[in-house]
Amino acid sequence: MRSQMEGSRAIAETVARCRPQVVPAYPITPQTHIVEAVGAMVKDGSLGGCEFITVESEFAAMSAAIGASAAGARTYTATASQGLLYMAEALFNASGLGLPIVMTVANRAIGAPINIWNDHSDAMSQRDCGWVQLYAEDNQAAIGLHVIAFRLAEHLSTPVMVCVDGFVLTHAFEPVELPDRAAIDAYLPPFAPRQLLSPDEPVTIGAMVGPEAFTEVRYLAHHQLMQAVDGFDVLAAEYEAATGHHHRAVSGYHVDGARTVIVALGSVAGTIKDAVDELDGGTGVVTLSLYRPFPADQVRRLVAGADHVIVVERAFAPGAGGVVSADVRGALAGLPARVSTVVAGLGGRAVTKASIQHMLADAHAGRLADLSFLDLRTDVVQRELATPRSR
């Protein structure tokens, strides 16, 4: 049954149905509604068997999650933006230790200048921290990705980050269907950790590894993470069988025969599909639910026939350009397709259908640069660039 609810509420209800046992929480906009709701469910008893810990920082939140997961509890937390960066050191540690923590990231820009609105700078800055990264296109996807995330995390013994566009999704009221508890219980069995801190069988976790073995440890971690490329789709298919909701690592939309293909992650994909629908055809869309590990083969298959691939990104790498574009270029190596990066929707700027259509018109007219910023106020930047600076 579909019901109208806020994205954060839908995520919190879904997480509760996944029966986390420890939830360390620290507030940061726009993630707060999620942990507030989880905290209330723990307090009123509707989420039983769960310890909700109000910690003093995101660093402490991820650290407590590490301890809880290592001691055998299903562990969840949520953060955004500066909070994700504040836990950066612990993110690498959680993946290095192979702890299946699930975390929502309510994507938000990073300062300075401080900005509370949506883009992907936060999660993209941590793309190499060894976590699986999933991106939700809408709130129904946010629900499904969270359930799959717990299963995938525990299946691979690796942490999973579910990225949900801040405000755009977290604060949006949409009709969604929550999978029923029995279906989730059947899909997601109780957590059976691979290694457990216990006096019955003492283990040393987190030893110091020197040059003689460090490379091998890293190789194996990469190998393990890569299992998620196919593993995600297998578990998503099981989820679909249990709930009827379809999610895949990579999805194509009108890509057959498309000369131009737009690649995107997150909520902007819906706008792009609407924009493309209003045009005459010839443009396809590829959306990534799975960004790390990068499903290069699937991306290559879906865009192989295109002349022009446009990667619309809600983040960028200063001094270099696109972030996702680099992965897409790598996936298309040897193919003739041109790849353009369009940085869009930074710091909460709306990405409209009209802007996307304008971008496509530029592309078809051969005016789209290798790197461009959608709806850039050129008058403002030209004026600033023309202003002499005292040194």
* Count of residues engaged in binding other proteins, rule: CB under 8 A: 44
Tokens representing residue 72 in the block? 């055998």
Give the nearest distance from C-beta 58 to other proteins in angstroms.
11
Of 61-69, 229-237, 262-270, 357-365, which segment contacts other proteins by CB under 8 A?
61-69
Output the smallest distance, CB 74 to other proteins, in A: 9
Q: Is 113 in the site for other proteins (CB under 8 A)?
A: no
Residue 32: exposure state from Cβ atoms within 10 A (0-12, 13-18, ≥19): middle
Shortest spacing between CB 83 and other proteins, in angstroms: 14
Q: How far is the CB of 208 from other proteins (least distance, A)?
A: 5
Selected binder of other proteins within 66, 149, 164, 359 (CB under 8 A): 66
158 binds other proteins (CB under 8 A): no
Q: Binding of other proteins at residue 22 (CB under 8 A)?
A: yes
CB of 78 to other proteins, least distance (A): 16
Tally of CB atoms within 10 A around 281:
11
Write the CB contacts of 299 (distance below 8 Å, at least 6 apart in sequence): 250, 263, 286, 288, 327, 328, 331, 332
Nearer to other proteins among residue 215 and residue 382 (C-beta): 215
Structure tokens at 303: 């865009």
Q: Which amino acid is at 270?
A: G
51 lies in the binding site for other proteins (CB under 8 A): yes
DSSP one-letter string for 346-360:
GGG----HHHHHHHH
Among 27, 32, 36, 53, binds other proteins (CB under 8 A): 53
> Among 67, 282, 305, 321, which residue interacts with other proteins (rule: CB under 8 A)?
67
Based on the shown chain and the rule CB under 8 A, indicate whether residue 342 belongs to the binding site for other proteins.
Answer: no
**Residue 57 engages other proteins in binding (rule: CB under 8 A):** yes
Ranges within 69-98 binding other proteins (CB under 8 A): 69-73, 75, 89-90, 93, 97
d(CA 1, CA 250): 27
191-207 burial code (b ≥16 CB/10 A, e <16): bebeeeeeeeeeeeeee
Which residues face 106 on adjacent strands? Answer: 164
> Partners of 54 in the beta sheet?
25
Footprint on residues 181-200 left by other proteins (CB under 8 A): 197-199
Q: How far is the CB of 233 from other proteins (least distance, A)?
A: 31
Rg (Cα) of the chain, in Å, rounded? 21
Contact between residue 79 and residue 107 where contact means Cβ atoms under 8 Å apart: no
Dig out the tokens for 380 from the structure.
């403002």
If one asks whether residue 270 binds other proteins (CB under 8 A), the answer comes out as no
Question: What track of x and - describes contact with other proteins for positions 199 through 238 (by CB under 8 A)?
Answer: x-xxxxxxxxxx--x-------------------------
Residue 284, beta-bridge partner list: 261
> In the set 27, 32, 36, 59, which binds other proteins (CB under 8 A)?
59
The answer to whether 125 and 85 are in contact (CB under 8 A) is yes
Q: Which is nearer to other proteins, 1 or 208 (CB)?
A: 208
Report how far residue 154's alpha carbon sits from residue 151's, in angstroms, rounded to the nearest whole number: 5
**Quick check: 348 and 169 in contact, CB under 8 A?**
no
Residues that bind other proteins (CB under 8 A): 21-22, 24, 49-51, 53-57, 59-61, 63-73, 75, 89-90, 93, 97, 197-199, 201-210, 213
